Chain A
Amino acid sequence: MFALVLVFPMIYIFNLMFKRELLTAPAGNRYIGFDNFVRLAGDERFWQATGQSVVFSGVSMAVSIPAGIAIALLISRRLRGTGLFRVILIVPMVLAPLVVGAMFRFMFDSDGFISWAFGLIGITAPSFLSIPGVSLVTVAFIDAWQWTPFVAIVVAAAIETVPPSVMEAARIDGANAWQELWHFILPQIRPLLVLVALIRFMDSFREFDKLFIMTNGGPGTSSETLPIFLWRHAFQYLDLGYAAAIGFVVLVIISVVSTIIVKFFRASKGVSE
């Protein structure tokens, strides 16, 4: 069964990506060699989707990782009464991404909660989800909303294992809080941070649910990332051969990153042993 559900799709994709397999006009379906890839290389919408995927992952990571580290520093102090805070942080992570998307689509609706909140401080809120470019970044922020607590909890656990002697050394050297973080804490947990960054990259790179429910790739194709682009070709245009070629490219990107993860994983194990 394993082979069937895992190996079969791979073989199927490898076969399909060399074919013209357009179900809406099946008459011309045949093997066409690398034509799908040639078409992909010249497809502006593909490059746009790739760029938007990079922006989406980039924004999601650039928000969630620093914010997560900041929250980690906050909880690793173990202030009184913050046990409940650790429980609250769990909640965003366990929600179905689709529900998170639906929730924030309501919040960002025109004349909705967000524009009301902006109105309180006297700002007329733009309609975030209907401006090209802004909608992509907004959903990336929502992705960061869901996964910042994950970064925080993982980093906090790592900070708590930093030997007290390191912190002592920092204080004796007269380091301020910022220097303590930058020169003493972060270098200690560097391998873990790399791992967290890569996990966040892969998770945001394959994100489908939130974009699907919040913008469906729109307005136009302005928030269409690679997963949405692929889904459209496979399940809406029924252009299966082309979709397989897109899937192959996505897999290549993912495997390159996997290789990097495993390399760093090895490195981090080397440090800890």
Chain B
Amino acid sequence: MSANIAPVRKTNAHQPPTSGNPASSTQKRRPPNYRKLWDIPRYLAIIAISLLCLVPIAVMLRIALTPQVDWRRMPIDWLQAADWSAFDRVLSGPFPGALLNSFIIAIVTTAIVIVLAAMGGHALARMRGKHKERFLFLVLGTRMGPAVVFALPIFLLASSVGLVDTYPGIIAVYIVYNLAFGIWMMHGFFLDIPPEVEEAGLVDGLSEWGVFRKLSLPMASSGVIATATLVFILTWNEFFYAFVLTQQRASTFPTTIPGYFGAFQVEWGSMFAASTLGILPPVIFGILARKWLAKGLSGGLVD
């Protein structure tokens, strides 16, 4: 297929898609030019879809930088000077604390999950099929199971041991919520390492642990980065458990968002300023780890 497309690409290099309708009658006889002609609507579709993805986010940024009187004025004045008062308000309130909580909770969760997932994933990669399928149920149960179902008993348990609104409480939940999926992700990366490498390590006198630490883990380092990024993003964005299990001291960034929706009016600018700050880490990490993002978001089910 790529061989077929290569010449099309070359001609495109000389004729940008905006150059109108170049199909003369002589060109129409040769099939490849039909395909090239079709590139114009393709580029238009790409532009339209990009706008569909980005316009809502652009609107959010614009409103975050708009003074309160103009929040709901349409059409949006895109060229209006930036007004940072919403950011000032958000940053002088309790929001930075929530952002800090999000960082602490997401980083600690990620660190613990990665250590356990690397070891568990390695063990799983060396297991046979039947056990793996059972494990897949666990992955689905924790990653895909609705938080709403588990939140009630977890809340009651946490409150009976005094862990509501504490870091250890919410971090413990997030570890469990992410661990099975982390193990499943890591196991995929360990599968790519040929068993011969590890056998050679054992022959050379390394212990099992030595083989894992000095051979397997470095070879699966991209897997470690991918899994860590995904656990971070999922933990950072999680709302329901945080909503139920935290109140103030350990509340994370998403739990602050409903607070801007008052009974009579919505603090759109402040809410969007807070949202903008809150989406930056996952967007940055997501773009950096884009190769593994789809795999991770599917719970490691698709490659």
Asked whether B283 is an interface residue with its Cβ less than 8 Å from the other chain, the reply is: yes
Docked-complex contact A9 and B153, CB < 8 angstroms: yes
Chain B residues within 8 Å of A74, by CB: 42, 45-46, 49
Q: What number of residue pairs across chains A and B have CB atoms under 8 A from each other?
A: 231
Q: At the interface, yes or no: B298 with Cβ under 8 Å from chain A?
A: yes
* B4-A79 in contact (CB<8A): no
Query: Judging by beta carbons under 8 Å apart, are B52 and A145 in contact?
Result: yes
Would you call A5 and B154 a contact (CB within 8 A)?
Answer: yes
B279–A206 touching, CB < 8 Å: no
> Nearest residue in B to A243 (C-beta to C-beta)?
B152
Proximity string of chain A (159-174) to chain B, C-beta cutoff 8 Å, 1 when within and 0 when not: 0001010010000000
Q: Assess whether A79 is in contact with B39, with CB atoms less than 8 Å apart.
A: yes
How many angstroms from the CA of A87 to the CA of B140 in the assembled complex? 28
Measured in the bound complex, the distance between the Cα atoms of B275 and A235 in whole Å is: 26
* B42 and A77 form a contact (CB under 8 A): yes
Determine how close the nearest CB of chain B comes to the CB of A258; give it in whole angstroms: 5
Q: A202-B144, A206-B146 are in contact. List 6 more A-B contacts (CB 8 A).
A: A9-B149, A96-B254, A150-B294, A154-B298, A206-B144, A208-B239
Contact A153 B286 (CB under 8 A): no
Q: Is the CB of A89 within 8 A of B133?
A: no
CB A7 to nearest CB in B, in angstroms, measures 10
Q: Are B146 and A208 in contact (CB under 8 A)?
A: yes
Surface stretch bound by A, among B53-61, B85-93, B206-214, B218-226:
B53-61
Q: Is A217's beta carbon under 8 Å from chain B?
A: no
- In the assembled complex, the CB of B215 is this many whole angstroms from the nearest CB of chain A, namely 26
CA distance A9 to B173 in the complex (A): 12
A85 to B48, CA, bound (A): 11
Interface core residue of A90, A213, A261, A265 (most chain B CB under 10 Å): A90
- Among A25-33, A58-66, A99-107, A126-134, the stretch that binds chain B is A99-107
* Subset of 30 A-B contacts with CB under 8 Å: A5-B173, A6-B141, A9-B150, A9-B153, A9-B154, A13-B149, A77-B42, A89-B49, A92-B53, A93-B293, A94-B285, A95-B237, A95-B279, A98-B237, A98-B254, A98-B258, A102-B261, A145-B52, A149-B53, A196-B298, A203-B144, A206-B144, A206-B148, A213-B258, A230-B149, A234-B152, A247-B148, A247-B149, A261-B301, A262-B136
Q: Bits for B123-153, please: 1 = Cβ < 8 Å to A, else 0.
A: 0000000000100110011101111111111
Q: Which of A6, A227, A265 has the most CB of B within 10 A?
A: A6
Closest to B260 in A: A102
Complex contacts, B149 vs chain A, CB 8 Å: 9, 13, 230, 247, 250-251
Q: Which residues of B are interface residues toward A (Cβ below 8 A)?
A: 1-5, 9, 12-13, 39, 42-43, 45-46, 49-50, 52-54, 56-57, 59-60, 63, 72, 74-76, 133, 136-137, 140-142, 144-154, 156-157, 172-173, 175-176, 179, 233, 236-237, 239-240, 244, 253-254, 257-258, 261, 266, 268, 271-272, 275, 278-279, 282-283, 285-287, 290, 293-294, 297-299, 301-303
A179-207 CB mask vs B (1 if < 8 Å, else 0) is 00000000000001001100100110110
- Report if A88 contacts B (CB, 8 A): yes
Identify which of residues 1-27 in chain A touch chain B, using a CB-to-CB cut-off of 8 Å: 1-2, 4-6, 8-9, 12-13, 16
Contacts of B133 in A (CB 8 A): 262, 266
Contact A154 B302 (CB under 8 A): yes
* Contact between chains at A88 and B237 (CB < 8 Å): no
Q: Which residues of A lie under 8 Å from residue B50 when comparing CB positions?
A: 85, 88
CB contact between A5 and one of B176, B282, B301 (< 8 Å): that residue? B176
Instruction: Report the Cα distance A262→B139, complex, angstroms.
Output: 11
- Report yes or no: A192 in contact with B302, Cβ–Cβ below 8 A: yes
A38 on interface, CB distance cutoff 8 Å = no
CB distance from A181 to the nearest CB of B (A): 13
Given contacts A154-B302, A235-B244, contact A164 B3 (CB under 8 A): yes
Tell me which residues across on chain A come within 8 A of B156, comparing CB atoms.
12
A104 to B60, CA, bound (A): 9
Q: How far is the CB of B31 from chain A (nearest CB, A)?
A: 9
Enumerate the 10 nearest inter-chain pairs by beta-carbon distance, A residue then B residue, closest first. A94-B286, A206-B146, A12-B153, A9-B153, A96-B237, A116-B74, A247-B149, A5-B176, A94-B282, A227-B148
Known: A93-B286, A199-B301. Is A164-B1 also a contact (CB below 8 A)?
yes
Residues of the A chain whose Cβ atoms lie less than 8 Å from the Cβ of B293: 90, 93-94, 153
Contact (A97, B239) CB under 8 Å given A6-B142, A87-B287, A195-B302: yes
